[in-house]
Amino acid sequence: MQSKTNQAVLDLASRAETIFRELPDLPLAARVEAINLLRRLLHQYSPFSGEPVDCVQWVPGDEVVGNDYNPNTVAPPEMRLLERSIGADGFTQPIVAHLDEDDRSIVVDGFHRQRVGKKTGPIKARLHGYLPLAYVRSDRGDIASRIAATIRHNRARGVHGVAPMTDVVVNLLRSGWTDGEVARELGMDDDEVLRFKQVSGLPELFRDHEYSPSWS
């Protein structure tokens, strides 16, 4: 049974390779478009179709836009190291993005990677002006979910600033999220959410807050 399965796989790969040999004859833009389409078709039949990393797309850099809510800051030495890493090792992880209603790719995670990839120089030339993107699931495309995804990526790496994080928490609460939803989606506990609310100094955030009874 194993040998039959292997032969079937080899036959399928051989037929696919016959098609792939036509790719080098296409102009660069058409070749990239064809490769992206083939990957999307493969993704439809993949057992991992629920995972964004299963379908990395190459997108022109001028169609990729950084978000305006990322509290992650990188110091100049770390930025130079990131550029050195991508220059020497290549892109080893895609930029995570969301496709908006204007077909722009808005960065969810990888803001600094996209900056390095778009910077004029050998890396941009090597990439022909394209960037590797993996798109978040379409059902996670609302602004609050995208902000939460960005914060989860940042916090998992331990990089976020207190002041910008306060703005994020405030915006999510104002969008209708409860304290519990903010805590769950951003990987916080209740006390941490409360501290960010206190830092904000906005009384309306405490309108429905339940306080423990004082002890005497």
Q: What global pTM score does this model have?
A: 0.69
Task: Report pLDDT for 214.
Answer: 45
Residue 86 tokens, joined: 């991508």
Burial status of residue 147 (CB atoms within 10 A of its CB: 0-12, 13-18, 19 or more) = buried
Q: What is the pLDDT of residues 60-110, one digit of tens each?
A: 999 999 877 665 667 787 888 889 999 999 999 999 998 888 888 989 888
Amino acid at 203: P
| pLDDT one-digit tens code per residue, 114-154 | 999 999 999 999 999 999 999 987 766 577 776 777 676 55
| Nearest Cα to Cα of residue 89 among 110, 69, 113, 108 | 113
Residue 163 amino acid letter: A
- Candidates 145, 65, 135, 69; CA nearest to 98 is 135
Are the C-beta atoms of 59 and 105 separated by less than 8 Å?
yes
Instruction: Give the residue extent of every domain in the chain.
Output: 1-45, 49-132
CATH of 49-132, one of 3.90.1530.10, 3.30.413.10, 3.40.50.300, 2.10.10.100: 3.90.1530.10
With a pLDDT cut of 90, the percent of the chain lying above it is 43
